Amino acid sequence: AKLTQHHCFYCSLKLMQIFEPVHERFRSGDEKAQYLICSHQPIVALTGDNVILPCCLEPAISAGTVEWTKPGLDPTNIHVHQDGRLEHRTQNPSYNYRTRLVKLSDEGKYRCYIPAVQKDAFVQLVVGSVSSPVVKATNSTFSGVVLHCESKGWYPEPELLWLDGEGKLLSAGPTETVRGPDDLYTVSSRVTVEKRHSNNFTCRVQQKIINQTRETQIHEYFILFVLLFCLAAFLFHCFECYVTTIPWWHVYVDHMIRCLTDFMTFC
């Protein structure tokens, strides 16, 4: 990299501390127009991550003061670096000596301003939150098993998909989405997998804005275990019905019907 071409200032949200300006010793030898450049694309970070917001001056000059602000805050200053020192007096209290990592409230537009050249530039920070989905069997029939998938703590709102072992979409029930008081989303969905389906199933939760995907697989042996468990429970339940009603055949038939109904409800 040609360090003499850029004079960069970084706002680090690692611990919400700000890196000092770098490359200050490089000066421009002419009077060309200066350009202050930030990222043209939104910068994406997950809650708890470390993230650096770039701001570069071209061509390079020595800047005594660099101001990072966030429009909409009061006061707007999140960091002012003046003559080699961090200025705390005008800093927004929510960023003053902050030790927490990136959180949802950090999302938004940030302004980098250099008074010496009266130039400013903006960078957009997008903050997301993710979690792995949890899959469990909630119901069963003779032909298949009902699987339930739930994933909590997402932001922005994600979508949930069911896939078979070949990566093809499964026809599932509607996705239920709940937004909590912390602005995080919980998504859940059910799908009935039958014997004719492939052996492995995947619940995938994805968010395209932050380019994040989490998925959980459930395998054939688990489905087989659930079916065998329900079958064993059914046979045991019917045996109980038989031994308690053997003198009365018609009562036994009625109990068999009830056993079958109970089985369908139980599994």
- Asked whether residue 123 falls in the same domain as residue 163, the answer is no
Q: What pLDDT shows up at residue 93?
A: 86
Average pLDDT over every residue of 36-50: 88
| Banded pLDDT at 135 (limits 50, 70, 90) | very high
Which candidate, 203, 200, 142, places its Cα nearest to that of 172? Answer: 203
- Asked whether residue 11 falls in the same domain as residue 107, the answer is yes
This prediction's pTM: 0.70
Per the document, the length of the chain is 267
d(CA 78, CA 68): 6
d(CA 220, CA 197): 10
- The distance between the two most distant Cα atoms of the chain, rounded to a whole number of Å, is 109
- Residue 262 located in a structural domain: no
Q: Which residues make Cβ contacts (< 8 Å) with residue 122, sequence separation at least 6?
A: 38, 109, 110, 111, 112
- Asked whether residue 35 falls in the same domain as residue 87, the answer is yes
Q: In this model, does residue 257 exceed pLDDT 70? A: no
Summarised one tens digit per residue, pLDDT across range 96-128 is 766 568 989 999 999 999 888 888 999 999 999
CA–CA–CA angle 224, 187, 191 (5° rounding): 30
Q: Please tell me the total count of domains within the chain.
A: 2
Question: Within a 13 Å sphere around the CA of 139, how many CA atoms are in the beta-carbon half?
Answer: 10
d(CA 233, CA 124): 57
- Asked whether residue 110 falls in the same domain as residue 139, the answer is no
| Banded pLDDT at 200 (limits 50, 70, 90) | confident
**Among 186, 201, 219, which residue terminates a domain?**
219
Sheet arrangement for strand 185-194: 134-140, 144-154, 185-194, 176-179
**Structural domain for 82, as ranges:** 7-127
114 or 18, which is more confident? 114
- Residue 212 located in a structural domain: yes
If DSSP codes are grouped into helix, strand and coil, which group holds residue 205? strand
How is residue 68 written in tokens? 């990072």
- Asked whether residue 108 falls in the same domain as residue 156, the answer is no
Summarised one tens digit per residue, pLDDT across range 71-81 is 988 888 888 88
d(CA 165, CA 150): 19
Q: What pLDDT shows up at residue 1?
A: 26
How is residue 180 written in tokens? 């909590």
- Residue 50 located in a structural domain: yes
Map tokens 């949802």 to a residue. 104
Average pLDDT over every residue of 207-228: 77
- Asked whether residue 15 falls in the same domain as residue 112, the answer is yes
Q: How many other CB atoms sit within 10 Å of the CB of residue 223?
A: 22
- Residue 239 located in a structural domain: no
Q: Which residues make Cβ contacts (< 8 Å) with residue 97, sequence separation at least 6?
A: 88
Query: H or E segment at 137?
Result: strand 134-140
Angle, in degrees to the nearest 10, between helices 249-266 and 220-245: 160
- Asked whether residue 17 falls in the same domain as residue 98, the answer is yes
- Asked whether residue 121 falls in the same domain as residue 161, the answer is no
What is the average pLDDT value for the chain, to the nearest integer?
Answer: 76
Q: What pLDDT shows up at residue 53?
A: 86
Q: What pLDDT shows up at residue 27?
A: 37
Q: In this model, does residue 240 exceed pLDDT 80? A: no
- Asked whether residue 112 falls in the same domain as residue 190, the answer is no
Give the domain CATH number at 114: 2.60.40.10
d(CA 6, CA 1): 9
Q: What pLDDT shows up at residue 156?
A: 97
Q: At 147, give phi and psi (nearest 5°).
A: -105, 140
**Among 127, 144, 177, which residue terminates a domain?**
127
On whether the CB atoms of residues 160 and 203 are closer than 8 A, the answer is yes
**Among 78, 104, 127, which residue terminates a domain?**
127
